[in-house]
Amino acid sequence: MIIQRLVSVALVVGLLLTNGLIQPRIDQFRAPKKKGGEAYGPAFDWLVRFSEIQALRGGGNKMDSVSIVIVLGIVGGFRSVAADVLWLKSDEWWHKGKADRMIPLLKLVTWLDPGFIDGWKIAGWHWAYNLRVQAPTPEEKDECMQNGLNFLEEGVAWNPEKHELYFELGWTNQDKVGDMHKAAEWYDRALPLALHQGLKFGAEKGKGEAQQEAKTLLTEFYNDDDPSRPCQLAMQVGPASLAKLYDLDTTAYTKALKLTNAHTDWTKAPSPDVVLRMKSHSIERMPDIQGALRTYNIVLDISDDERQQLRQLIDLSLKADMDIDEFQQALELLKSKPNPKDAKQAKLLKHPDILVAAQRLFPVVTALRLRDTVASGATMTIMARYVEADDLLRQNEFAAARKALIRSYERFYNFHEDDNRKKATEIAIHDAFIACDRKDFAAAEQIIKKSIAKESKAVSSRDLQPLKDGLEALESKDFDHATILLQAATVVDTIYSHLMARIYEKWADQLNKAGNEAEAKKQWRNAFDTWIGASAHNASDHLAHARVRAIAPTLGLHIVIPEFDNTYDPRKAEMTGQRPRR
């Protein structure tokens, strides 16, 4: 045994000595043949990155084992083979349902091949999603989430030029943490790198005027003689560093987007316009309505004239008391398949002056759709349904903002009223809420009682619970609370719920500043119930979960929301001081 160990040590020493003698010739052979070309064979810049990360973290790192560095250095050109074998083994564990056994293997994969982006992405995803779900306690769930974020951030440190990991951190913060501000920040960091990747490809592979334009933009945005410039922009994200990229007064950014989309294969990485759309999705849920519109407008390269025409078209839909989707469908049908008996078309035909004006303006919608279907649809939806309420909220006109949002909800609901997928309980909740909002509490009580009697054996107790909660509040003459409970159960979409909750929160803040603590507490309760409704509607709405936990102490409550548990009862929670199960 001793002899075998001595022989092994001798072989290692011999390999190291041999490597020292021939390495200069290997480096010369592997060097790129031309400036900007790729080196031949396996990359060793991971050793430089390792020391940089060590210095960045003050020497404290989970990967600072000297033995690991030596072993990986000896393995050299065989690291990729070893990483492939471990990757396949980790995939085997995944398909066997043993995700916990994957993590050590994925760590080894990223040690062996730090430039393997999928290794970092998959490991971060397993921590933040799969292992988090399996964790038995809230504390362990939070730990799994943090491990996933840490793993992705470590991947960024190893690969600061790869925007895929920045994007992954944006998505994880948006989808799992519910931190929309942090998500938007990571998307902002991904953007200059994604643009740089596309422009560089256009400068190298493009033709004619497009190629020259890409070269010009590379110099304008990045000073391309400095290879570290894109990474500097990504790490120093903020209004100053990205002002040029987000300048709405120039067309340079839009040209860059068009060039990157035309000349780059984005099947393996998110394109710049995808990064921007995801940023818009995160900030519209904060909700920052104006910020979301600005970002969508960048994607669309919308002109002032187009924006004005779009606003006029939306105003016409409001004048006709039609939801924007209903309005568009009616216009399109009247052009392609006119039928006066169709409900949507008949509704618009009642307003011939509106119809004529809308047909003149409608081409702007077609033009915007051709540029980006998602961004154009989102822009119209936000402008039609939420801008009025958001403008009033910014003016601290809280009651008016709430009223405007409810009007928008009614138009949306009336458009979908004939949707056969709607449950009878959803219709009853809507009708009871509208009755309460109009102060017809007796009618609301009758609607609820009739629905409960009819549906008690046909639907689950969970579907009936909002009606039962509303009825109990009505019978106890707590009309304001009944209205809010029913309103919280009438969810159009995430933006609607979040904007309504923010109206109540800002209302409560103003009342607190004015010294009216009793009224402020009522508005905090309204915000709490609205966030509860958003959580019940979507178990993955982690921003709603976070806001429930944040507001609960203000109301004397201690709330724990386990993963994917949307059985909430705010009425009982208020009575007991904790959140019981139904």
Maximum average pLDDT range among 325-334, 337-346, 384-393, 408-417:
384-393
The CA distances from residue 192 to 311, 401, 557, in Å, are 31, 37, 44
Instruction: Give the torsion through C-alpha atoms of 302, 307, 313, 318, to 10 deg.
Output: 120
Least confident of 86-100, 165-179, 264-278, 395-409: 86-100
d(CA 566, CA 553): 20
Q: Is the pLDDT of residue 254 over 60?
A: yes
The CA distances from residue 236 to 70, 188, 473, in Å, are 34, 10, 52
* Cα–Cα nearest to 70, from 116, 25, 13: 13
Least confident of 7-16, 53-62, 457-466, 483-492: 53-62
Q: Is the pLDDT of residue 23 over 50?
A: no
**SS3 label, residue 578:** strand
* Cα–Cα nearest to 264, from 256, 276, 254: 256
Under 8 Å between Cβ of 327 and 425: no
Strand partners, 578: 558
pTM summary value: 0.75
Centroid of chain to Cα 321: 31
d(CA 559, CA 422): 31
For residue range 388-438, list pLDDT tens digits in order.
999 999 999 999 999 999 988 888 877 665 554 457 778 888 888 888 888
Under 8 Å between Cβ of 295 and 188: no
pLDDT band at 10 (very low <50, low <70, confident <90, very high): low
Q: Which two tokens stand for residue 297?
A: 């407008």
Under 8 Å between Cβ of 107 and 123: yes
DSSP 91-141: HHHHHTT-GGGHHHHHHHHHHH-TT-HHHHHHHHHIIIIIIHHH-SSHHHH
Q: 566: alpha, beta or left, given left = phi > 0 and alpha = psi -120 to 50?
A: alpha
Which has more pLDDT, 499 or 139?
499
d(CA 345, CA 332): 9
Under 8 Å between Cβ of 323 and 414: yes
| pLDDT confidence of residue 209 | 75
Per the prediction, the chain carries an average pLDDT of 75
pLDDT band at 499 (very low <50, low <70, confident <90, very high): very high
Which has more pLDDT, 574 or 518?
518
Under 8 Å between Cβ of 542 and 133: no
Q: Burial of 279 by CB count in 10 Å (0-12 exposed, 13-18 middle, 19+ buried)?
A: buried
Q: Is the pLDDT of residue 15 over 60?
A: no
For residue range 299-321, list pLDDT tens digits in order.
888 888 998 999 999 999 888 88
Least confident of 71-80, 382-391, 413-422, 520-529: 71-80
Maximum average pLDDT range among 98-107, 383-392, 466-475:
383-392
d(CA 374, CA 376): 6
The CA distances from residue 544 to 133, 396, 533, in Å, are 18, 23, 9
| pLDDT confidence of residue 82 | 53
Q: Is the pLDDT of residue 7 over 60?
A: no
Q: What is the mean pLDDT of residues 531-544?
A: 83
The CA distances from residue 406 to 191, 409, 437, in Å, are 36, 5, 9
**SS3 label, residue 1:** coil
Strand partners, 398: none
Q: Is the pLDDT of residue 567 over 50?
A: no
| pLDDT confidence of residue 573 | 39
Least confident of 372-386, 486-500, 505-519: 486-500
Maximum average pLDDT range among 167-171, 294-298, 466-470, 537-541:
167-171
- High-pLDDT (> 70) share of the chain, %: 68
Maximum average pLDDT range among 147-151, 387-391, 466-470:
387-391
Q: Burial of 55 by CB count in 10 Å (0-12 exposed, 13-18 middle, 19+ buried)?
A: exposed
**SS3 label, residue 558:** strand
At 515, phi and psi to the nearest 5? 85, 10
d(CA 206, CA 200): 9
d(CA 45, CA 365): 50
For residue range 111-128, list pLDDT tens digits in order.
777 888 888 888 888 888
**SS3 label, residue 160:** coil
| pLDDT confidence of residue 67 | 43
| pLDDT confidence of residue 112 | 73
Residue type at 151 in one-letter notation:
F
The CA distances from residue 501 to 103, 176, 397, 549, in Å, are 39, 20, 15, 14
For residue range 212-242, list pLDDT tens digits in order.
877 877 777 776 566 666 776 666 655 444 5
